[in-house]
Amino acid sequence: MKLKSMDISATASASSIVFDALRNAIIEGQLEEGEPLRQDEIARLFNTSRIPVREAISRLEEQGLVKTQRYKGAVVAGLSPEEVEEIFNLRALVEPEIIKNAVPRMSKEVLDQARAKCSAFSESKDPMEWGSLNRDFHETLYSASNLNYFLEIAGNAIDRVERQIRAQLVMSNGMERAGREHFAILDACESGEADTAAELTKAHIEGAKKSLLQFLPKA
């Protein structure tokens, strides 16, 4: 199992630490679709009991990142093309509303941070960074929205497809287009054009969905 061992035996929040480590490993593709999550092995890696591991896996299952299979137990969940399409459709509804509410509240500090993250995404040559850099950019802009429930929904949706987003950027050579679209969204935000930012965000998500579905294996 591709997890870095860690001694959390004396840590009160052992379950949260295991949860965060497993979640990041799944999102970043270190734990692949269908890979079993053996509680004994994970507990040994973190020098803890099975209880926090079981709690962490239960939380991951609630988020759809893990599923329980007969005879196998908990495994990393995959997504069918239909599920991917549904998640992107949800994002295309939720995220434009988030950014529309965020634009009037964006401070210069937030916009400066977003431009730095936008540039970091466009300049990155490491495919392993692309998913997280893409997410950092969007979430920086969204942070000013004050729509906490919307943000939670969007965050969970992105969790489910972050591996696929990175794969789409690699397989479709989509980095250049994504970078251009990011800068266009950012320009609209800096100009205070909330409706334009929302429209561009929706088009950005729908374009990524269309590109990704072209590369996903059909059932």
Q: Which CATH number is 81-215's, of 1.10.260.40, 3.10.110.10, 3.40.980.10, 1.20.120.530?
A: 1.20.120.530
The one-letter code for the residue type at 136 is D
Per-residue pLDDT at 200 exceeds 70: yes
Contact 17, 45 (CB under 8 A): no
Position 212 scores a pLDDT of: 86
Q: pLDDT (tens digit, 9 = 90+) per residue, 84-119? A: 999 999 999 999 999 999 999 999 999 999 999 999
Q: 14-76 architecture in CATH?
A: Orthogonal Bundle (1.10)
CA distances from 62 to 49, 57, 66, 77 (A): 21, 9, 8, 11
Under the banding of pLDDT at 50, 70 and 90, the label for residue 70 is confident
Q: Residue 199 half-sphere exposure, CB side, CA atoms within 13 Å?
A: 6
Q: Write down the pTM of the prediction.
A: 0.79
CA pair distance 15, 170, nearest whole angstrom: 34
Composition of the chain by helix, strand, coil, percent to 5: 70, 5, 25
Under the banding of pLDDT at 50, 70 and 90, the label for residue 64 is confident
CA pair distance 50, 41, nearest whole angstrom: 9
Contact 6, 47 (CB under 8 A): yes
Q: Where are the domains of the chain?
A: 14-76, 81-215
Per-residue pLDDT at 151 exceeds 60: yes
pLDDT above 90 as % of the chain: 64
CB neighbour class for 139 (10 Å; exposed up to 12, middle 13-18, buried from 19)? middle
Q: pLDDT (tens digit, 9 = 90+) per residue, 159-195? A: 888 888 877 777 767 788 999 999 999 999 999 999 9
Cβ atoms within 10 Å, residue 134: 24
Position 98 scores a pLDDT of: 98
Q: Residues with Cβ < 8 Å from 20, sequence gap 6 or more?
A: none
